[in-house]
Amino acid sequence: MRIAINGMGRIGRMLFRRLINDPQFEIVAVNDLMDAANLAYLLKYDSLYGTWQHDVQFANGFFSVAGKTVAALQEADVNNINWKQYAVDVVLECSGAYSSKTKAGQHLTSGAKKVLLSTTGSTDIPLLIYGHNHTNPAADDAIVSPGGCMTNCSTHILYLLNSIGIESAQLNILHSYTSRQELVDTAHKQYRRGRAAAESIIPVEIDLAQSLERLLPLQGKIATVSVRIPVTNGAMADITVQMKEDISREQINDLFKKAAAAEYKGILQYTEDPLVSADIRGNTHSCIIDGELTSVVGRQLKLIAWFDNEYGYTSRMIDWLRYWMK
């Protein structure tokens, strides 16, 4: 499968690192406005995942890495790119700028066969969570959204709990700070996002509830918020659910333990180890249920799940590519 990556931010670079030596894929081109020498440097040196084993060289419009050559494009408008020239099967749209059906469709017009977003995207694009509804007929569409890291964590949890019955759910996602925040106080249309990310615990607005209501029969029963915390990687979902019937801590933990060993193997993990966020860096699962922290009061359930917002999420994008190859 011939891959192009549009947008070489955190997710784009992580996908590049993970796909470059996979024999099932060939990265033929990347597109980003960043200076190419700077991009080569950021591929080699990463503050979270360490120095890459490969040297990355740039010359004459191409990256050379691991014995492979990848075209390095710097186009602000993908309409100026001829993906057909590179025989691109799938564009991994990681820029965030082409997340509507019309905008993402420009990749198809430029010659790509399929587009996989790295975000939820607009409502006119099928929202298909790997391991939940990825076998939906819409998976054959040319443009697909695999959701975001928070959606991939939460969907499986709520789906399993709703097999018992959910009255309402409150989700608080404690998430590492991101490039959409600021390092020093500055102006921002969402005032809190403009505050120094490494100095405060910062609540931010998210659209997770709307995404979950598209995926699950829980309309009007979900509320969500994300709290950005001063760490560079990792996230913890703090989920409070009012259940429709009496439950026990043991029953809930057993539900997730069995799911992790069976139909959700590789997607959901169960542990009773005393984890902290640093422990899940590089974890490939969409969610890691912390069974030690499960608690029940009456019909109210408190559930804690961890996830690596970069590595876990790119794992699901790669799963999508493998699924399409079949």
Same domain, 85 and 158: no
Decide the pairing of beta strands 62-65 and 68-73. Answer: antiparallel
- 102 and 184 fall within a common domain: no
Q: Which domain holds residue 289?
A: 149-309
Q: What pTM value is reported for the model?
A: 0.96
Residues listed for the chain:
326
Instruction: Identify whether 126 is part of a domain.
Output: no
Q: What is the 3-state secondary structure (H, E, C) of 96-143?
A: CCCCCHHHHHHHHHCCCCEEEECCCCCCCCCECCCCCCCCCHHHHCCE
Question: Is 322 among the domain residues?
Answer: no
Say how far apart CA 27 and CA 30 lie, in whole Å: 8
CATH code: domain of residue 202:
3.30.360.10
Q: Are both 20 and 91 inside the same structural domain?
A: yes
CB within 8 Å of 86: residues ≥ 6 apart: 2, 4, 28, 29, 71, 111
**Shared-domain flag, residues 154 and 99:** no
Give the integer Cα–Cα distance in Å for 7 and 104: 13
Task: Tell me, yes or no, if 153 is annotated catalytic.
Answer: no
- Nearest CA to 167 out of 248, 212, 222, 210 is that of 222
Is 133 a member of any domain?
no
In a domain, 204, yes or no: yes
Identify whether residues 170 and 245 lie together within a single domain: yes
Domain shared by 109 and 200, yes or no: no
Query: Residue 113 is which amino acid?
Result: K
Element (H, E) at 251: helix 249-261
Residue-level pLDDT at 44: 97
Domain end marker among 118, 135, 163: 118
Q: What is the pLDDT of residue 296?
A: 98
Verify that 239 and 158 share a domain, yes or no: yes
- Looking at the fold, whether 90 and 216 belong to one and the same domain comes out as no
What are the CB-based long-range contacts (under 8 Å, 24+) for 321-324? Answer: 321/1, 321/3, 321/24, 321/25, 321/90, 321/116, 322/24, 323/130, 323/134, 323/139, 324/1, 324/90, 324/114, 324/139
Looking at the DSSP bridge assignments, the partners of residue 172 are 225, 238
DSSP helix/strand/coil, 282: coil
pLDDT recorded at residue 125:
97
pLDDT reported for residue 136: 96
Catalytic one among 94, 149, 153, 287?
Answer: 149
Run of H or E residues at 153:
helix 149-161
CA angle 276–171–120, rounded 5-degree value: 95
Same domain as 154, residue 103: no
Do 104 and 174 lie in one domain? The reply is no
Classify the phi-psi angles of 247: left when phi > 0, otherwise alpha if psi is within -120 to 50, otherwise beta: beta
Half-sphere exposure of 235 toward its Cβ, with a 13 Å CA cutoff?
A: 31
How many CB atoms sit inside 10 A of residue 149's CB?
Answer: 25
Residue 14, H or E segment: helix 10-19
Burial of 186 (0-12, 13-18, 19+ CB in 10 A): exposed
Does the residue 124 lie in any domain?
A: no
Q: What is the pLDDT along the chain (326 residues), one digit of tens a residue?
A: 999 999 999 999 999 999 999 999 999 999 999 999 999 999 999 999 999 999 999 999 999 999 999 999 999 999 999 999 999 999 999 999 999 999 999 999 999 999 999 999 999 999 999 999 999 999 999 999 999 999 999 999 999 999 999 999 999 999 999 998 999 999 999 999 999 999 999 999 999 999 999 999 999 999 999 999 999 999 999 999 999 999 999 999 999 999 999 999 999 999 999 999 999 999 999 999 999 999 999 999 999 999 999 999 999 999 999 999 98
- Looking at residue 39, its amino acid is L
Q: Flag whether 125 is in a domain.
A: no
pLDDT at 67: 93
CATH of the domain at 61: 3.40.50.720
Q: How many structural domains are present in the chain?
A: 2
Report pLDDT for 324. 97
Note whether 270 and 165 are same-domain residues: yes
Whose structure tokens read 């099967």?
Answer: 89
Only one residue has tokens 């549009």, namely 6
281 and 186 assigned to the same domain: yes
Domain assignment present for 95: yes
